[in-house]
């Protein structure tokens, strides 16, 4: 199975203030996000992390990646230092990727796009960066932990949550 997530910000205490994540300190935050990740992701699953994985002050990235289930792919975000992008444990690291999943053409980037490849043909833009604060747009989804219960989500879950929110598929 394939999962998507973004904006975990492991080891970055700013998220406790800025995003008002419900944890008394970073150790509790990080432990909870690791537990949530491993509760849904299996060792043979792929996880596309759409940026802002961990702080430069967050410790050993390779050690953290070993604690997280699945094959991890990083789409680089604005808060991903070289210690994260160059770390052992990533199956791939890039700034942008397109692929097909579940009959959908997916466009993955840390940032939400105003327009994207094959937009007029029904492609879907998955992004992070906005921490659940952008107004929803048809076929564009924030996969960040702040928008999805602090855990990775499948494409099916993303599309179902969009139906509940809008009462429609937003043109999908």
DSSP states of 4-73 as a string? EE----BT-THHHHHS--S-SSHHHHHHHHHHHHHHH--TT-EEEE-S--B-TTS--HHHHHHHS-SEEE
pTM: 0.92
Confidence category of residue 163, pLDDT binned at 50, 70, 90: low
3-state secondary structure of 158: helix
Q: What is the mean pLDDT of residues 61-82?
A: 98
What are the boundaries of each domain within the chain? 2-166
β strands within 102-166, DSSP E? 104-109, 124-127, 140-142, 153-154
Look over the chain and give the mean of its residue pLDDT values, rounded to a whole number.
92
The CATH code belonging to domain 2-166 is 3.60.21.10
Residue 54 reports pLDDT greater than 50: yes
């Amino acid at each position: 199975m394939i999962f998507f997530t973004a904006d975990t910000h492991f080891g970055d205490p700013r998220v406790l203030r800025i995003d008002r994540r419900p944890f008394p300190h970073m150790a509790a935050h990080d432990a909870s996000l690791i537990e949530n990740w491993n509760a849904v992701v299996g060792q043979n699953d792929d996880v596309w992390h759409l940026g802002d994985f961990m702080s430069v002050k967050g410790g050993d990235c390779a050690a953290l990646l070993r604690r997280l289930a699945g094959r991890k792919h990083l789409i680089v975000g604005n808060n991903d230092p070289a210690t994260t992008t160059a770390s052992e444990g990533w199956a791939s690291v890039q700034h942008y990727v397109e692929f097909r999943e579940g009959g959908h053409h997916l466009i993955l980037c840390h940032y939400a796009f105003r327009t994207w490849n094959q937009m007029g043909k029904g492609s879907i833009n998955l992004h992070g960066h906005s921490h659940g604060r952008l107004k929803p747009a048809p076929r564009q989804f924030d996969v960040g932990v702040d928008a999805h219960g602090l855990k990775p989500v499948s494409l099916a879950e993303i599309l179902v949550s969009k139906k509940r929110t809008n009462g429609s598929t937003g043109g999908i």
